């Protein structure tokens, strides 16, 4: 079992969601953009060092150290580009949408400061089409007349992998929102061939707070290895589903209680979104949630989405639904996605609906091992992680299903949210 991170405060005062939406209201809460504090090349280096000392990690899913990304892009010598990723194509998450709605200027401040730190002169804010954010962001950006960057707002296709960093760069370069092979990395050659920093909008909001209040302040909540606060979207069988600000290291049970507690007996919770991991309940009630793996299955916060599964639902059925969705949402560029994910979805549906025998289980296990780690991007890895965790977490149910019987959860209403309408006509452009 992975070591549990040390906890500080589990209920931090709001940091990200305390500002109202207008620029004037934002400045009244957070103050002016602190560019003078980090003037010139010494100031740029000081800002990167402050982010590094703060220990800020990416809030988009991977949890990569932000200071390391800043330094990598700045080291290439050519004028870089900053891309603020607010697409949030994860169906179970709405934290980035909430942040861009209630505190857009905290994100925009962070983007300007990131651009200053690495010497960029262009910032592109990417959001999903139809999310209702692009027009509002353009209006708010128009009020920021003194910002030392050129702003753009890009509207991305509503596809799951379109928010992957190389897919964003590919779209901005060619209009095709599919991931590309690496190398080169986006930090080396990205938008227009220039080094490109792609950061989640919540990450940029935290960067702004670090620049304003310092790395020591940032570290007063969270864990030693995952400091600061973080936004999570809590859904499923809880009384108050929504977006909450927590400290990394907070126990899973405490997060569910923050959302009003369970509506009834729970069987499990999906942590980390659709590339995440199932954690059974109540045995994982005390599981600490952060970007560091915890528990026997290596649970991490990932995209910050947590969905509580009631006891009268079936985790295998829910996983089969998502496996089919992930297979359909692949970019269709390489064998693991073209052939592997649909085959895994077929097997998972056979398991979920009791139309199988032990041979299906063996074939599914073999396919999961073959597909994992073989794709052009992380899409196959995330899909196999989800299915593998379901087979482990719901092992007792699995034996029932393999015997040709289905549990009562098969007839329950679907729980995990899936988009009812996606871009299908020219969906990658």
CATH code at position 122: 3.40.50.11540
Domain range for 391: 315-411
User: In this structure, are 193 and 296 located in the same domain?
Assistant: no
Q: Cα(293)–Cα(286) distance, rounded to whole angstroms?
A: 14
Q: Specify whether 71 is located in the same domain as 178.
A: yes
Decide if 115 is inside a domain.
yes
Let me know if residue 189 belongs to a domain.
yes
pLDDT of 200 over the 90 cut = yes
Q: Residue 264 maps to which CATH number?
A: 3.10.20.600
- Does one domain contain both 56 and 172? yes
Same domain, yes or no: 71 and 27: yes
User: Same domain, yes or no, for 320 and 299?
Assistant: no
Q: Which pLDDT belongs to residue 408?
A: 67
Residues 212 and 328 in one domain: no
6 pLDDT tier (thresholds 50, 70, 90): very low
Model confidence at 205: pLDDT above 60: yes
Residue 418: inside a domain: no
The answer to whether residue 12 is domain-embedded is no
Q: Which of residues 196, 218, 240 is at a domain's end?
A: 218
Q: Name the residue with higher pLDDT: 278 or 429.
A: 278
Domain-located, residue 98 = yes
191 and 96 housed in the same domain: yes
Strand-pair category, 288-289 with 305-310: unpaired
Final residue before a domain boundary, out of 290, 310, 330? 310
Report the distance separating Cα 292 and Cα 407, nearest Å: 34
Position 202 in a domain: yes
Q: Residue 5 above 50 pLDDT? A: no
Judge if 160 and 174 occupy the same domain.
Answer: yes
Residue 421 lies in a domain: no
Overall number of domains in the chain: 3
- Flag whether pLDDT at 423 surpasses 70: no
Neighbours of 146 (CB within 10 A): 7
Same structural domain for residues 302 and 325? no
Query: 165 and 46 in one domain?
Result: yes
Which pTM was predicted? 0.94
Q: What is the pLDDT of residue 272?
A: 97
Which residue from 284, 270, 266, 262 is spatially nearest to 232, judged by alpha carbons?
Answer: 270
Q: Are 237 and 198 within one domain?
A: no
Instruction: Calculate mean pLDDT across residues 89-100.
Output: 96
Tokens 């060619």 found at? 174
39 in the same domain as 129: yes
Nearest to 245 by CA among 36, 11, 9: 11
Residue 391 φ then ψ, to 5°: -65, -30
Judge whether 256 lies within some domain.
Answer: yes
CATH code at position 392: 1.20.1440.230
Tell me: pLDDT of 424 over 70. Answer: no
Residue 363 CB contacts under 8 Å (≥ 6 apart), including other chains: 347
- Among 275, 310, 345, where does a domain finish? 310
């Amino acid at each position: 079992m992975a070591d549990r991170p040390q906890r500080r405060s589990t209920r931090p005062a709001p940091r990200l969601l305390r500002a109202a939406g207008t620029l004037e209201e934002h400045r009244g809460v957070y103050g002016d953009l602190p560019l003078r504090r980090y003037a010139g090349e010494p100031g740029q280096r000081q800002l990167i060092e402050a982010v590094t000392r703060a220990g800020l990690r990416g809030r988009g899913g991977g949890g990569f150290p932000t200071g390391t990304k800043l330094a990598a892009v700045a080291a290439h010598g050519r004028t870089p580009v900053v891309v603020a990723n607010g697409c949030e194509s994860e169906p179970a998450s709405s934290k980035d949408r909430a942040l861009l709605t209630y505190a857009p200027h905290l994100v925009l401040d962070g983007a300007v400061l990131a651009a200053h730190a690495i010497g960029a002169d262009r910032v592109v804010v990417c959001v999903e089409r139809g999310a209702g954010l692009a027009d509002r962001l353009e209006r708010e950006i128009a009020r920021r007349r003194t910002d030392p960057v050129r702003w753009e707002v890009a509207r991305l296709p509503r596809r799951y992998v379109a928010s992957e960093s190389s897919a964003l760069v590919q779209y901005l370069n060619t209009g095709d929102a599919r991931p590309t092979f690496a190398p080169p990395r986006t930090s080396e050659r990205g938008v227009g061939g220039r080094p490109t920093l792609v950061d989640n909008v919540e990450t940029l909001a935290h960067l702004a707070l670090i620049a304003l209040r310092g790395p020591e302040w940032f570290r007063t909540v969270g864990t030693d290895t995952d400091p600061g606060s973080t936004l999570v979207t809590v859904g499923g069988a809880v009384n108050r589903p929504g977006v909450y600000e927590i400290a990394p290291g907070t126990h899973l049970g405490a997060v569910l209680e923050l959302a009003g507690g369970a509506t009834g007996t729970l069987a499990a919770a999906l942590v980390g979104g659709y590339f995440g991991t199932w954690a059974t309940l109540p045995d994982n009630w005390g599981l600490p949630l952060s970007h560091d793996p915890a528990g026997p299955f290596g649970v991490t916060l990932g995209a910050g989405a947590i969905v509580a599964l009631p006891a009268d639902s079936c985790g295998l059925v829910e996983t089969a639904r998502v496996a089919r969705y992930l297979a359909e949402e692949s970019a269709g560029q390489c064998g693991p996605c073209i052939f592997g994910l649909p085959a895994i979805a077929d097997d998972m549906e056979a398991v979920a609906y009791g139309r199988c025998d032990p041979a299906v289980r063996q074939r599914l296990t073999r396919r999961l091992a073959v597909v994992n780690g073989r794709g052009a991007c992380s899409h196959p890895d995330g899909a196999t992680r989800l299915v593998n965790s379901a087979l482990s977490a719901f092992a007792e149910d699995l034996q029932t299903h393999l015997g040709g019987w289905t549990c009562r959860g098969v007839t329950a209403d679907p729980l995990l949210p899936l988009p009812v309408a996606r871009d299908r006509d020219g969906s990658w452009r």
